[in-house]
Structure 1
Amino acid sequence: MTANTRHMETQKIERKVTKIGNSLGLTLPQEFYTTLNIKQGDVVSLEINEENEQIVIKKSKKISMPEGLNPKFLESLNRTINKFDGAFKDLVNR
């Protein structure tokens, strides 16, 4: 391990699910945000593994939109991907 590499052991904590507005939610310790350099307004992705009953939270990488790409096209593409997400995953598992 180099001097610049940080090794963080897997940490297990328990948090209570609470009501936030009309939704259920949970908070994460500040250490999690600091370790991953997550700040207010950053985007994270959530992956659900039903088989293992796990939720994985990852910091999303910022990507810039290619020049000349119509934002409405990107919105349409995202809606299509979300609509057929299950079918895409089934195709991967074939």
Structure 2
Amino acid sequence: MERKIRRIGNSLGVNLPADMLKEIQLNEGDTVEVELRKDKGEIVLRNKKITPINSDFESRVIDVVEKYFDITRK
């Protein structure tokens, strides 16, 4: 899904679709965890209320899986 970066006051932001936010149980005023994955050009948002593990650990696990396993294999 593509979204445009827009000006929000003196900052820039992205509007997220309501159905996507509902899917991960996010509402206005909720806190999210933001992770920058500079090497991959990614910004990851997580619902802080349901983040089950440390994000650094999760990031490392994802890196290992992507590096050593073909996740498209059935």
Question: TM-score scaled to structure 2, two decimals?
Answer: 0.63
Deviation at 1:26? 0.8
Question: Could you tell me which amino acid in structure 2 is paired with residue 47 of structure 1?
Answer: E
Matched-pair identity in %: 36
* CA RMSD, 1 decimal: 1.3
Please identify runs of 4+ aligned residues in structure 1 that moved more than 6 A.
none
Gaps of 5+ in 1: 1-12, 63-94
Distance 1:55 1:28 in 2: 14
Which of structures 1 and 2 has the larger relative contact order (alpha carbons within 8 angstroms, sep 6+)?
A: 2
What secondary structure does 2:19 align onto?
helix
* Structure 2 residue 20 is matched with structure 1 residue 38: no
Instruction: Name which of 18, 25, 35 aligns with 1:47.
Output: 35
- Aligned residue pairs, count: 50
Gaps of 5+ in 2: 51-74
Deviation at 1:32? 1.3
Question: Could you tell me which amino acid in structure 2 is paired with residue 51 of structure 1?
Answer: D
Greater share of helix residues, 1 or 2? 2
Distance 1:54 1:29 in 2: 19
What secondary structure does 1:31 align onto?
helix
Instruction: Name which of 14, 33, 39 aligns with 2:2.
Output: 14
